[in-house]
Chains A and B, each alone.
Chain A
Amino acid sequence: QTVVTQEPSFSVSPGGTVTLTCGLNSASVSTGYSPSWYQQTPGQAPRTLIYNTNTRASGVPGRFSGSILGNKAALTITGAQADDESDYYCALNVRRGVWVFGGGTKLSVL
């Protein structure tokens, strides 16, 4: 069974930098998995931040960036702001047509 792993929670100070990661239980994450990152606040639909590893969605601030770090996909927030406090999900295209989401990371800004 394919499992996508994310840190359950993370905290960052206002103005600080944080890197969230997205791994696979069975392999190293590469660009071939088309890693995507989504932000969700309570009661709202997910919002795409990053797709295809490092493409920023329209309207997403430049402080959000995506990359591959070692054997995982990564979302880096540089200069965190209070309204970045949200749940963050990654998704991987594990094989043709099939996607798996990670369990999400609850980010606190404090």
Chain B
Amino acid sequence: EVQLVESGGGLVQPGGSLRLSCAASGFTFSSYWMSWVRQAPGKGLEWVASIKEEGGDKYYVDSVKGRFTISRDNANNSLSLQMNSLRAEDTAVYYCASLRSAYWGQGTLVTVSS
């Protein structure tokens, strides 16, 4: 059974940092592009970042460039999102997903507030 399990969400002050993790199992993680997608309260889905299978190519939505870093550890089947200089508008549920296939996690909530 395919599983993507996110962790690391929580409450952080504006300007602070947070690191999200996603543990993958049940599929050949190293063979898939992986992405982070977020959903602000009451809003639609927004793609945040993607990383190629071996980790060499990384892409970001403009609003997080220079603040967020996506990475992966294929040896441990894990995906990460380092989030720095957080803003109130980054408040959302963050999902780990493989958008070229059918795999999504259950999400982790990030709240940026003082």
Contacts and interface: CB of A to CB of B under 8 A. Distances in A.
Is the A/B pair a real complex? yes
B105 A97 contact: no
Interface stretch (B12-20, B46-54, B71-79, B81-89): B46-54
A81 interface: no
Contacts, number: 60
Interface residues of A, number: 24
Contact of A91 (B58, B99, B102): B99
Contacts of B59: 96-98
Nearest to B106: A45
A68 to B, nearest CB: 17
A91 B45 contact: yes
Interface string B50-67: 101000011100000000
Given A45-B106, A57-B102, A99 B47 contact: yes
Nearest to B61: A98
A96 B95 CA distance: 20
Which interface residue of A45, A47, A89, A96 has the most chain B CB atoms within 10 A?
A: A45
A46 B104 contact: yes
Contact of A99 (B44, B95, B99, B102): B99
A93 interface: yes
Contacts of B44: 89, 101-104
Contacts of A45: 95, 104-107
A48 B97 CA distance: 10
Which interface residue of B33, B99, B105 has the most chain A CB atoms within 10 A?
A: B99
Contacts of B37: 46, 101
Contacts of B107: 45
Contacts of A97: 33, 50, 52, 57-59
A69 interface: no
Interface in A26-48: 34, 36, 38, 40, 45-48
Contact of B45 (A96, A98, A104): A104
Given A45-B104, A46-B104, 9 more contacts: A34-B100, A40-B45, A48-B101, A51-B99, A96-B57, A97-B58, A97-B59, A99-B50, A101-B37
